[in-house]
Structure 1
């Protein structure tokens, strides 16, 4: 866990007596914004279309359209909203299961519903 700033956010301006600003000046990595990992970009290169792409419409004589017709997977640049929500729900459910595990930080004997209020 990174050291916390001792001042309010000032968007890139360093404060002389702040320990976190001193770490950043010394070369520490800044903390990434957001809790979701960055979407994976396709690493494999695919055959290019030889025409202007009209989504869902296949053109005769195009090698990429022929691949798609034969069953090739379409290129996906980012997960859909439904997939992101399912990933978030799975992570939240795993965290709750871990929280109430018999050997976890809170067993059912020591923890009640107040402990996780607002987590859903």
Structure 2
């Protein structure tokens, strides 16, 4: 019997949209944290690291960075740091949204500040 794919794996395989994450959260809750009779954290069920999960809870739009990071096999903060490439790499809704997340990551210390001098 094969193990159920996480939300992130399903999304990367084209079987789930970003907006479907709420359905996955509901399914985890409906199964009392044990979908397919396997107890696991919600972060694990979704396919997110604890840091990615915490970031997503605070800023749901950051999910795009976590998934882009997994697609590129890079940490989501590194993906966010790519600056002008962020919107395309993370498939953000628009450049302003991507820039807002990048700014917030820096403000909260999740992404180091860079000295432009």
What TM-score bracket applies, with the shorter chain setting the length? under 0.3
Task: Name the one with the larger helix percent.
Answer: 2
The higher relative CO (CA closer than 8 Å, separation ≥ 6) is in 2
Output the TM-score relative to the length of structure 2.
0.22
